[in-house]
Every structure is written in C-alpha cells, then in structure tokens.
Amino acid sequence: ETYENIPGQSKITFLLQAIRNTAAAEEARQMAAVLLRRLLSSAFDEVYPTLPSDVQTAIKSELLMIIQMETQSSMRKKICDIAAELARNLIDEDGNNQWPEGLKFLFDSVSSQNMGLREAALHIFWNFPGIFGNQQQHYLDVIKRMLVQCMQDQEHPSIRTLSARATAAFILANEHNVALFKHFADLLPGFLQAVNDSCYQNDDSVLKSLVEIADTVPKYLRPHLEATLQLSLKLCGDTGLNNMQRQLALEVIVTLSETAAAMLRKHTNIVAQTIPQMLAMMVDLEEDEDWANADELEDDDFD
C-alpha cells in the first residue's frame, strides 16, 4: 500500500537506488528490478515523459552503468530486462530509437572480452529484437555478424545458447520478412547445433525456440529442413533426455507437418520413422512406487 501511494516519478528514483545498493539483500534488489520493469511496462507514458530531460538521461546512463558493474548473473539479467523494456518504449512512432547510447552499449558489449557483458547484450537483444527500429536494415549485416560470432564461441556454452535464442527471437519478430530469412539462412546450422548441445546440458530453451519457429515461420527452416527433422527425430528417440525434451522434439515434427505440409512431402521417410517413436513414447510409462509397494488387490478393481 505504501509503495502504491508513491508517485511514479519517485518510484523510478527509489527503485534505481535500491538496485544500485549492492549492500542490500539480493532478494530486495531483484524485487526492485522486477517492480521497475513492471512500472516501465505498465505506466511508461504516464511516468517517464513527465520527468525532466536531464533526469531521463541520468536514468538511461545509470542503467547501463549498473549492468556493467553488476557481478551476479541473475541480477544482471533482471537489469537487462529493465533496459530492454526502456528501449522498447523509446522507439517512437516513426521507428526512431531515442536511446542511441543503448545501441552503442549493445555493440560494444557483444564484442567485449567480459563474458557477463556479452551475455547482457544478447539478453537485451533477445528480449527486444526490435531495438534497432527503422535502422534495422542498415545494421542487418552487423546483427548477423554479431550473432554468428557469438554462436561460434566454443569456450562459453551460455553464449552459444543465448545467441541461438536471440537469433530465433529476431527471426520471429520479422516473421513476414522473407528476404531476411534468406539472409540469415546460414545461421541455421549453428542454431541447430545449439539446440542439440543445450539439450544435453539439460536446457530446453533453444528447443522451445525451434518449436516456435516451426509453428510461426516454418519457411525459415526450408534450406535445412532435412537436418531439422533428423535432429528432432534423434532427440525424440534419445531415452537419455527427459520426457519434456523428447516431447518438444516430437512437437517440432508434428508442428511442421501441420504448418508446412507441402515442405514435408519430400521427407516422408522421416514421418514414417516418427510413428514408431510416438508409439514408443506412448507406452513408456514411468514406474509408480505405489504400484510396487501394493501387495493386496482391492476388490473394487474387479467390480
């Protein structure tokens, strides 16, 4: 109730102070970050434009500074969520990005030797792939190089995973831009490799991104459809993966058969191999300990 009674302009200042206070409890700082993101998301037009221009500039500068200073990965991601939300609201009706310093931070950080900053740049781009506004076409090759560079990082699996998710988010955000699909087609092999690698690191986030692509922009997968189907079939049949991952892999094939039936006509062999996998998963019941411990049959079972 006390928080709700604070004016919006003051909330921004207080929440930023709480986030910046590294002496405070981690939970308190994370809550402040969540509240600030929600405030920008739900009441940006009522709060931010009413601030003096020097205060607006200070907020933008401070956010970027806090990201650079933050040492905790989970906290940094939450601050990046705030930056992405602010950037989203600072794209005007004509598509102009009114936060050029944010873009510069993105470019500088993605090439940094500091892995935390590289993660931050990718997280912001994944969260808001429209950050380039009406300059996107101008920066298209730069965006592509940025994603390729990160997807080829063999030393840091988290960077590869984040870049794959960012690639998927960018493709999905441009779902009607067929020319862009062609331009980014050579990222697909690296993306599929990231799907595979992340699954064996017990992370299904990139696989979920593949399901989204199959559902929304299946045409993007056309140049490497065979590889996509083979990978999905392999993951689906791997009993070493958890059930959710195997079901998601199956969902890729099922979704493509619905959204891109014409594309799959040349791959009937994959569909034929999928059916036994589906049947195997249907009969692959998890053992219930209560069944093993039951030593008496209930009469009701035979009524």
pLDDT at 286: 56
What ranges do the domains of the chain cover? 1-90, 189-282
Per-residue pLDDT of 187-216, as tens digits, reads: 999 999 999 999 999 999 999 999 999 999
pLDDT at 296: 56
> CB of 84 within 8 A of CB of 128?
yes
Predicted pLDDT at 43? 93
pLDDT at 287 (0 to 100): 53
Stated pTM of the model: 0.88
* DSSP string covering 223-251: GGHHHHHHHHHHHHH-TTS-HHHHHHHHH
Three-state DSSP at 49 gives helix
The residue ranges of the chain whose pLDDT is under 50 are: 301-303
